Amino acid sequence: MILLTRKADFSAAHFYWNSGWSEEENQRVFGKCANRQGHGHNYTLEVTVAGAVDPVSGFVVDLKQLKEIMEREVVSVYDHRHLNHEVPEFAHTVPTTENIAIAIWRRLDGKIPNSKLHRIRVYETPDLFADFFGEPSATESKPA
Amino acid sequence: MSSPHVHLSRRYHFAASHRLHVDALSPERNREVFGKCNNPFGHGHNYVVELTLSGAVDPATGMVTNLSDLDSFAQREMLDLFDHANLNTLEPFLDLVPTTENLCIELWRIFAAYPHANLERIRVEETGNNSFEYFGDGVMPAHEG
């Protein structure tokens, strides 16, 4: 079993807002991230897949194919977009780094041939990133 | 369905000096073990602390933990103590050699008290070429091991 990671970058705008809360509560919890005009980041996405090495090709997955899937499923949808306004999964979900990692997992899960999605890592800045290893039912049981 | 569980990692930077020296060892033995790190007046590094926390994503906020809470905690409990300090003069290192290994363990002790998420990992870069990771007492990483 080998883990293989491919990176991609996208730039997008977002803001944090819970429509069930008052403006004051949004400001209190989200601070400057609640500015309704939005702000942006250069995000870096790392997709890690796990699989066996094909004895003929020596590949876990074809990197070109993985790049195309990431481009089609994620980058073409997120890049140079406003996540709250233009990406459907964030119409009613706050586009935090955590939720972006979950959303990208859901976009890619089951779409990469010959391998299993292992980890989605999303960097919002070089000093902040979120990792998602799958839905609770799909993850290995962890010690309490 | 229960909320998805996410790992969140945050990097902090501080600059500090230290000297690797153990009083119980002879001067010769200290030089042998610690080399230039034993030079008498100490030296310094730009440390990078990368900590990983985990927890369920709060459906209302989309967050494992509010970064403003985490940043305040890190400022108060770590950066205010360690930034631009001599590690050897700080309470945890009065009787403990301030290697980056021991710094990892001390930082684990500090961040284990953070109330809003589970501490999964402390990673400290002493320079761009060496880094140390601690996952708590005897625990290996769940996903990367």
Q: What is the 3-state secondary structure (H, E, C) of chain B?
A: CCCCEEEEEEEEEEEEEECCCCCCCCHHHHHHHHHHHHCCCCEEEEEEEEEEEEEECCCCCCCCCCHHHHHHHHHHHHHHHHCCEEHHHCHHHCCCCCCHHHHHHHHHHHHCCCCCCEEEEEEEEEECCEEEEECCCCCCCCCCC
Q: Which of A33, A89, A93, A131 is the best mutation test for B, with the most CBs of B within 10 A?
A: A131
User: What is the C-alpha to C-alpha distance for residues A69 and A62, in angstroms, rounded to an integer?
Assistant: 11
Q: Is the pLDDT of residue A85 over 90?
A: yes
Q: Which helix (H) or strand (E) covers residue A51, if one does?
A: strand A39-51
**pLDDT tens digit string along B56-74?**
999 999 999 999 999 999 9
Establish if A143 belongs to a structural domain: no
ipTM: 0.85
**Which residue range(s) make up the domain with A108?**
2-136
Reported as a single tens digit per residue, the pLDDT across B7-43 is 999 999 999 999 999 999 999 999 999 999 999 999 9
- Cβ within 8 Å, pair B6-A29: no
Q: Domain with A70 in it: what CATH number?
A: 3.30.479.10
Digit-coded pLDDT (tens) for A131-143: 999 987 644 544 4
Alpha helices, DSSP H, located in A39-96: 63-70, 76-78, 83-86
Round the average pLDDT of chain A to a whole number and report it: 93
Residue A142 lies in a domain: no
From the list B37, B101, B116, B133, the catalytic residue is: B37
Write out the H or E segment, with its range, that includes residue A39: strand A39-51
Res A110 pLDDT > 80: yes
Residue A30 lies in a domain: yes
In-domain check, residue A43 = yes
Kindly determine whether residue B139 and residue A94, on different chains, have CB atoms separated by under 8 Å.
no
- Report yes or no on A126 lying in a domain: yes
- What is the nearest CA distance from B97 to chain A, expressed in angstroms? 28
* Domains of chain B, each with CATH number or no CATH: 5-134 (3.30.479.10)
A104 lies in a domain? yes
Assign B80 a pLDDT band (cuts: 50, 70, 90): very high
Size of interface A-B (CB pairs under 8 A): 73
Residue B22 — φ and ψ, nearest 5°? -120, 120
Name the domain count of chain A: 1
Q: Is B37 a catalytic residue?
A: yes
- Report yes or no on A144 lying in a domain: no
Q: Residue A40: inside a domain, yes or no?
A: yes
